Amino acid sequence: GTGHPVSSAPIVNGAVHIARGKLEYVGPRLEAAKLRGTAIMDTTGLHVYPGLVNAGTSLGLEEIQSVQGTIDTTEIADFQPDLQAVWAYNPFSAIIEVARSEGITSALVLQAGGTVSSRTGVVHLDGWSMQETLVASPLTLRIELPSLPTEFPDDMQEDRKAELKRAHRKQLALIEEFFDRATHYAKVSRLAKDNSSLAPKRDGRLEAMIPYLTGDAPVLMNANSYKQIREALEFARRYKLRPILFGAREAWKLAEELAKEKLDVIFCRTTSYPGGKFEPWDSVYSSPAALDGAGVWFCIAVSDPELSKQLGVEAGLAVAYGLNEETALRAITQTPAEMLGIGERVGTLEVGKMADVIVTTDSPLQAGNAVVAEFIAGKPIDLSNKHTRNDEMFHHRPAPNLGPEPTLRGPKPMRMKGAGEALK
């Protein structure tokens, strides 16, 4: 088939060899004699891509929105950096099967709630236990700063506006206090390496903050509007953080600045509505193209678990609105893997990497594409899911034995001659 390593040019009439969970060969077609004893899949006329990477979702943390017991997306505390989102991950979620059947093989799992909610981690969308499914954790630290609206509603009372502003200042003061304490804790801990008598009393929450305050690991800052992005960047500069913007709906307004400062962006999602009243109708659709044109390093993600399956289509919409096709493909494979620090393991078809491979009828960017085979860490994946099983079940539903049609009574205009006919 046609191989698409992503990190290099497509390979027409190519081959991929998987062994012991890794990619052993990626290149021109191999002679069958060299593969004696190996199971061979003929992908003639098909395409072979690396598995897609969703760089930010609550997949596995949420099942049925109307059933509270199936939702574990939000922490009740304002500051919980000691937690890891993957601890709440449910590998048996029905939504995971659906996302997997559309070519997504790994995802960055994140929680919401509070200000510093938890640390994120990447999982494979296969496995019975966390030991089997975990790719890497902890990775980024999720931060969401409170933000007042750009303008209050015209009919809002002045005392209500003042109340909201006071609450906002109070919340910001608590956040600054926590970060000041964490910064002091990190400095004292560093000094304690040379003088153990200086070691502070251990605090799990402050301990977890150290790699992010020292710049050894990035923070994921949730911000969508221009105002929120400005506030997030100012906060990051103050505490010398390494920010990755998440959401970034209006990041196109600061594209040149983001490129100049070499700030990374996880754009989520291309099919969102514009946030402001006076935004261009296609501003969100074309935002990835604007970021790419300015030289911003970005990837595309879908945070909603039930819509995670649309990752390829979301990137495809960006192509329809000006984004280069190769860049769009990298934005859901190689770029998120490298941005999250797991690029040596997943994201491209290269020898030595984990064998996350999908076989497709077309580009993952096309809405009409179908995934016909998939491997995660070299393991063949069953692509059936709740949707396909329901489709199969109802296609084979036995004919109902309902008896003769009842005689309908009522005025003539309300009577029908038979089932399915229009009212006369």
For 76-118, what is each residue's pLDDT tens digit? 888 999 999 999 999 999 999 999 999 999 999 999 878 998 9
What's the pLDDT at 76? 82
Backbone angles phi, psi at 206, to 5 degrees: -70, -35
pLDDT tens column, 345-379: 999 999 999 999 999 999 999 999 999 999 999 99
Better-scored residue on pLDDT, 21 or 406? 21
Task: Give the HSE-up count for residue 423: Cα atoms under 13 Å, Cβ half-sphere.
Answer: 7
Mean pLDDT of 132-148: 94
Distance CA 270, CA 267 (A): 8
What's the pLDDT at 424? 44
What's the pLDDT at 186? 93
Per-residue b or e along 240-263, where b marks 16 or more CB atoms closer than 10 Å to that residue's CB: ebbbbbbbbbbbbbbbeebbeeeb
Mean pLDDT of 34-53: 89
**Cα–Cα distance list, 96 to 68, 104, 107, 140 (Å):** 19, 9, 10, 22
Structure confidence at residue 8 as a pLDDT band (50, 70, 90): very high
Better-scored residue on pLDDT, 418 or 71? 71
Distance CA 117, CA 122 (A): 16
Contact (Cβ atoms closer than 8 angstroms) between residue 98 and residue 125: no
What's the pLDDT at 34? 67
382, amino acid identity = D
Contact (Cβ atoms closer than 8 angstroms) between residue 365 and residue 323: no
Structure confidence at residue 12 as a pLDDT band (50, 70, 90): very high
- 226 alpha-carbon distance from chain centroid: 22
Mean pLDDT of 217-239: 96
Contact (Cβ atoms closer than 8 angstroms) between residue 186 and residue 214: yes
Question: Residue 263: which of 240, 289, 245 has the closest Cα?
Answer: 245
Contact (Cβ atoms closer than 8 angstroms) between residue 269 and residue 314: yes
Question: Residue 186: which of 263, 134, 135, 239 has the closest Cα?
Answer: 239
Whether residue 313 has pLDDT greater than 90: yes
What's the pLDDT at 199? 84
Whether residue 308 has pLDDT greater than 90: yes
Structure confidence at residue 37 as a pLDDT band (50, 70, 90): confident
Question: Residue 354: which of 336, 374, 376, 338 has the closest Cα?
Answer: 376
Whether residue 415 has pLDDT greater than 60: no
- 129 alpha-carbon distance from chain centroid: 21
Backbone angles phi, psi at 375, to 5 degrees: -130, 135
Structure confidence at residue 417 as a pLDDT band (50, 70, 90): low
Structure confidence at residue 423 as a pLDDT band (50, 70, 90): very low
For every residue of 378-389, DSSP letters joined together read TEE-----HHHH
Q: How many CB atoms lie within 10 A of CB 1?
A: 20
Beta strands across the sheet bearing 379-380:
2-3, 47-50, 357-360, 371-376, 379-380
Distance CA 92, CA 385 (A): 11
Better-scored residue on pLDDT, 225 or 411? 225
pLDDT tens column, 160-185: 989 999 999 999 999 999 999 999 99
> What average pLDDT is seen over the chain?
91
For every residue of 122-180, DSSP letters joined together read EEES--SSHHHHEEE-S--EEE------SS--TT--HHHHHHHHHHHHHHHHHHHHHHH
Q: Which of 38-47, 276-285, 357-366 has the highest mean pLDDT?
A: 357-366
Contact (Cβ atoms closer than 8 angstroms) between residue 332 and residue 57: no
Mean pLDDT of 59-66: 86
Q: Any residues with CB less than 8 A from the CB of 60 and at least 6 apart, and which?
A: 88, 89, 90, 91, 93, 95, 96, 107, 109, 123, 305
CA angle 270, 276, 280 (to 5 degrees): 60
